[in-house]
């Protein structure tokens, strides 16, 4: 069964450092998302991406965040200068066209120290 894959599974970084979280969405999917979940809290939307551009972003997704789909298969989330409060589980998701649900990757646990 096709799945969304994310790497790394866990990343520890120092405050102020840049991180890149990587995702390979399901191959025939057209819509891509990044979400995050701080421990014990709900899943929060960061950004959606369609047709090689951002279609919507949340207030969390400020200038420190960016996304790219560099080669037609990978979908990356970059955080330029990490803060302690960026520590969370980051989930990538993708879906086909139509009113279907999104499929989530296993997540990258980001710990900023």
Partner 1 sequence: RKEVEQDPGPFNVPEGATVAFNCTYSNSASQSFFWYRQDCRKEPKLLMSVYSSGNEDGRFTAQLNRASQYISLLIRDSKLSDSATYLCVVNTGNQFYFGTGTSLTVIP
* Residues at the site binding partner 1, with contacts judged by CB under 8 A: 31, 33, 35, 41-45, 48, 50, 55-56, 58, 89, 91, 93, 99-107
In the complex, minimum distance from the CB of residue 88 to partner 1, in angstroms, rounded to a whole number: 12
Q: Other CB atoms closer than 10 Å to residue 25's CB: what's the count?
A: 27
Q: Which is nearer to partner 1, 45 or 65 (CB)?
A: 45
In the complex, minimum distance from the CB of residue 71 to partner 1, in angstroms, rounded to a whole number: 23
In the complex, minimum distance from the CB of residue 22 to partner 1, in angstroms, rounded to a whole number: 15
φ, ψ of residue 86 in degrees (nearest 5): -80, -10
**Pairing of β 10-13 and β 108-112:** parallel
Distance of CA 15 to the CA centre of its chain: 19
């Amino acid at each position: 069964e096709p799945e969304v894959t994310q790497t790394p599974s866990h990343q520890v970084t120092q405050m102020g450092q840049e991180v890149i979280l990587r995702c390979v969405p399901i191959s025939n999917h057209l819509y891509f998302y990044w979400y995050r979940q701080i421990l014990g809290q709900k899943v929060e939307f960061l950004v959606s991406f369609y047709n090689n551009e951002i279609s919507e972003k949340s207030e969390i997704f400020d200038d420190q965040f960016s996304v790219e789909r560099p080669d037609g298969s990978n979908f990356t989330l970059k955080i330029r200068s990490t803060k302690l409060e960026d520590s969370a589980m980051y989930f990538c998701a993708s879906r086909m066209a139509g009113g279907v649900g999104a499929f989530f990757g296993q997540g990258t646990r980001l710990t900023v120290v």
